[in-house]
Amino acid sequence: MDNQPTKQNLINKLDNVIKGNISREQFNQWAYKWVQNLDSRNRLSSKENQLHEYLIFLLCIDLEIEPNIYFYEDIEIQEWIKKIRQSKLLP
């Protein structure tokens, strides 16, 4: 199992989506795995709780309006990265 992601890992992954290094669907699968992992725990630290909330929101990254037309554009992903860097809530 991978190490639990940090906020920086999350930012790096989102950056890789924008750069086209990983697909939105791959990001969603990765995030979903961590949502399930964090869901299964009895207690979360405040950092883990914040990460959990980010990951739940970010599951929307691969929502399509029609094939290959995504509900959220890259510009919005860039805004999410800024907010995560500042530990602000999404969206």
Question: Is residue 77 predicted with pLDDT exceeding 60?
Answer: yes
Q: How confident is the model over 12-37, as pLDDT tens digits?
A: 999 999 999 999 999 999 999 999 99
DSSP letters, the chain, are -PPPP-HHHHHHHHHHHHHTSS-HHHHHHHHHHHHHHHHT-S---HHHHHHHHHHHHHGGGG-EEETTEESS-HHHHHHHHHHHHTTPPP-
Q: How confident is the model over 36-75, as pLDDT tens digits?
A: 999 999 999 999 999 999 999 999 999 999 999 999 999 9
Quote the pLDDT of residue 91: 86
Give the mean model confidence (pLDDT) for residues 67-87. Answer: 97
Confidence of residue 2 (pLDDT cuts 50, 70, 90): confident
- The residue ranking higher by pLDDT, 76 or 2, is 76
